[in-house]
Amino acid sequence: MKIVVLDGYTENPGDLSWSGFESLGEVTVYDRTPADKIVERIGDAEIVIMNKTPISRATMDACPNIKYIGVLATGYNVVDVAAAKEKGIPVCNIPTYGTASVGQFAIGLLLAICHHIGAHNESVHKGDWEHNIDWCYWNYPLIELADKTLGIIGFGRIGQTTGKIAKAMGMKVLAYDSYPNEAGKAVAEYVDLDTLLANSDVIALHCPLFPETEGIINKDTIAKMKDGVIILNNSRGPLIVEQDLADALNSGKVYAAGVDVVSTEPIKGDNPLLTAKNCIITPHISWAAKEPRQRIMDMSVDNLKAFLAGAPVNVVNK
């Protein structure tokens, strides 16, 4: 059986092993695959493993040996799942792997805003402390989070993890979610969206990207927020209307933002958040610690084993 990995680098830049797949067939791994090489590289392979390389109907038509498509991620929008279903090709994803890491990163963005640890470290290394007249100094306002309110939009596993960390720091947690549950009630108070917007000192996005959530942070919802609110997004970039957030940052309505995702990735040079005040941007790395990447690898192998055993799991195009 031939297995081809079309874009393995972000999952495994060299610190993991492909041995799980290698035990199941003849494996060819490409770090990246440009669009004009997709069909050629799949060739007569039966198993296609990919992350962000698009797999279209035309590609499936040109590669009739494909029997299985495995996604090294949760999102699968780059695969034509309807065409795959028509052809009897299961598309299997990784539904959960980075809950702890993504929740931790959301709080990391918040702490970076509150303490500017990196900037102060750079200042000390430049000699600013050595030559300072006082025994200490700070170049940015410092923010204590205890007794402040964190509002979390989307309160599934990741949202609840973020909420638990926030509670451990003494924050009050509000949550907005279409499906309240008992686990969530143990962490936060469920409220409607307008109540969350009006009462939160910090707002974190942990909701999926659906038509009803696209652009959920926009000039109208921002207007309902407290002056000086902090906004965090390490979920999906299109949840935010970026020009509206940039305008709010520049006016001071929003004190700061921390985002790990943007509407188009890699980020475009004209993205308004790049020049907005008090905006921390990281390159979609909430998921990328070694531990969650190892879980992706292990679960991807398990998905393929289940398919080969005739009982596929995590199929997104049933």
Q: List, by residue number, the catalytic residues.
A: 236, 265, 284
Distance from C-alpha of 120 to C-alpha of 181, rounded to nearest angstrom = 41
- Residue 49 burial (CB < 10 Å; 0-12/13-18/19+)? buried
Beta strands in the chain (DSSP E): 2-5, 26-29, 47-50, 68-71, 91-92, 149-153, 172-176, 189-190, 202-205, 229-233, 254-259, 279-281
* Interatomic CA distance for residues 11 and 155, integer angstroms: 26
Cα–Cα distance measured from residue 238 to residue 216, given in angstroms and rounded to the nearest whole number: 9
- For residue 179, the SS3 value is coil
Kindly state the tokens that stand for 267: 């980020």
Count Cβ atoms below 10 Å from residue 26 Cβ, excluding itself: 12
Distance of CA 70 to the CA centre of its chain: 19
What lies within 8 Å, CB to CB, of 68 at 6+ separation is 46, 47, 48, 89, 90, 92, 304, 307, 312
Instruction: Give me the sheet containing 279-281, strands edge to edge.
Output: 189-190, 172-176, 149-153, 202-205, 229-233, 254-259, 279-281
Helix (H) or strand (E) holding 105: helix 99-115
Strand partners, 176: 153
Element spanning 20, H or E: helix 19-22
